[in-house]
Amino acid sequence: MAQSRNVRGCGCVAVLLALVVVGGLWAYFKFYKPVPGPKLPTPSGEELSIHVLDVGQGDAILIVAPGGKTALVDASVPGSGKKILAAMARAGVDHLDLLVTTHAHADHIGGADEVIKGTKVYKVLDSKVPNTTKNYEDFLDAIEGRVENPQENFITAAPGQTFDLGGGVLISVLAPIQPLFTKDQLRSGGNEPNANSVVTRLDYGEFSILLTGDAEAQTEERMMEQGARLAAKVLKVGHHGSKYASSEEFLRQAKFKDAVISCGADNRYGHPSQEALDRLKAAGVKVYRTDLQGEITIKTRATEDYQITTERQAAADELYAGRKAQKDDSAKSGFIQYGDFGPAPKASPKSKATNSR
């Protein structure tokens, strides 16, 4: 009798164990999403500096790696070249190993031709989603004229590409993801250059920053679906804090601690929006803004600690207060905003009016 009870007991344990194993395997394959990512280089521990430049209503982010290699992500509006070159001189930088142009709108490639003509640029990484503006043609001409071997060094961005800046600093491309977003797929407020922005991340030991260009929620969703490596310490907020970017789910998944918004003090586009600022605040993300604080500098030695300093001070409540769009004045500004104010204008080729920001 006793022996038979033992046999029955053993059988139950075996069945239970089998259930646990099968259940575990099922859960593993159902919920585990491998996060693709390159093997990160060993950090040198020397200082990396990132300068989010105060260049008005546009983006320009200068990265100086420990070994002296450099990258610039975007070149803001036309006429910004001087400011960017001056910032490079202040940082003791005389060349760019990599220029990332997130997309072909004039608040991102505006000063790119001036930068390419004013310093040595080795590689340009671009979405290759074209634009019909003279500014875009000037950008292409500058590459053709000044970048060595442009067939090889004017690169179409694709997820999985990496750029080693030395000293343990690595830039990885996360988007645009193929097939690119087409016009008919875009949500209200969207446009193809923004939706197909080049999104990169920079990793340096424990430090990381996500650089999103003007990508909005639709692009954030696609990256989440594809299991892109989004978690980072710092976010360069998408589309200057537009209400269409920085979705709640994106902020929840990526767990940013700090966020930098690059926008102009006199912008008429309602950037940053109260909606995006509210979502950042609710997610516990500390916000920095170039329109209120001037140039924002991030320094790190690859540890958990990094320092963010600003050119000017701003009160905490001011930083979470959005700007109001001035719809009536948008047409007079010389820049046409079609992201927030209706359909795209019919831009004639070489038109002076640049485009959405």
Which parts of this chain interact with Zn ion (CB under 5 A)? Answer: 107, 214, 357
Nearest residue (CB) to Zn ion, 194 versus 300: 194
* Nearest distance from C-beta of residue 18 to Zn ion, angstroms: 56
User: Could you give the CA distance from residue 269 to residue 322 in angstroms, rounded to a whole number?
Assistant: 11
Residue 39 neighbours by CB under 8 Å, 6+ apart: none
d(CA 357, CA 229) in angstroms, rounded, equals 26
State how far the Cα of 261 lies from the Cα of 277, in Å rounded to an integer: 10
Choose between 114 and 214: whose C-beta lies nearer to Zn ion.
214
C-alpha distances in Å from residue 237, one per residue of 23, 117, 192, 258 = 40, 29, 18, 10
Cβ within 8 Å of residue 29, ≥6 positions away: none
Tell whether the torsion through CA atoms of 236, 241, 242 and 247 is positive or negative.
Answer: positive
CA–CA separation, 288 and 311 (whole Å)? 11
Least Cβ distance, residue 294 to Zn ion (angstroms)? 19
Min separation Cβ 239 and Zn ion, Å: 6
Using CA atoms, how far residue 194 sits from 99, 127, 181, 214, 249, in Å, is 18, 10, 10, 5, 19
Tokens found for residue 309: 């300093």
Nearer to Zn ion, 104 or 147 (CB): 104
| Nearer of residues 59 and 203 to Zn ion, judged by Cβ | 59
Measured from the CB atom, is 93 or 106 closer to Zn ion? 106
- Beta carbon nearer to Zn ion, 69 or 271: 271
Minimum CB–partner distance for residue 357 and Zn ion (Å): 4
When the beta carbons of 233 and 357 are compared against Zn ion, the nearer one is 357
Q: Which is nearer to Zn ion, 168 or 193 (CB)?
A: 193
Please, how many CA atoms are within 13 Å of residue 134, restricted to the half-sphere of its CB? 6
Closest CA to 239 of 253, 256, 259: 259
Name the minimum Å distance from CB 107 to Zn ion.
4
CB of 334 to Zn ion, least distance (A): 15
Q: Is 241 left (phi over 0), alpha (psi -120 to 50) or beta?
A: left
Q: Cβ 344 to Zn ion, closest distance in Å?
A: 15
| Nearer to Zn ion (CB atom), residue 83 or residue 301 | 83
- In the block, residue with structure tokens 């059988």: 11
Q: How far is the CB of 242 from Zn ion (least distance, A)?
A: 9
Residue 109 CB, shortest distance to Zn ion, in Å, is: 10
Contacts of 124 (CB under 8 A, 6+ apart): 98, 99, 100, 101, 116, 143, 147, 150, 153, 154, 155
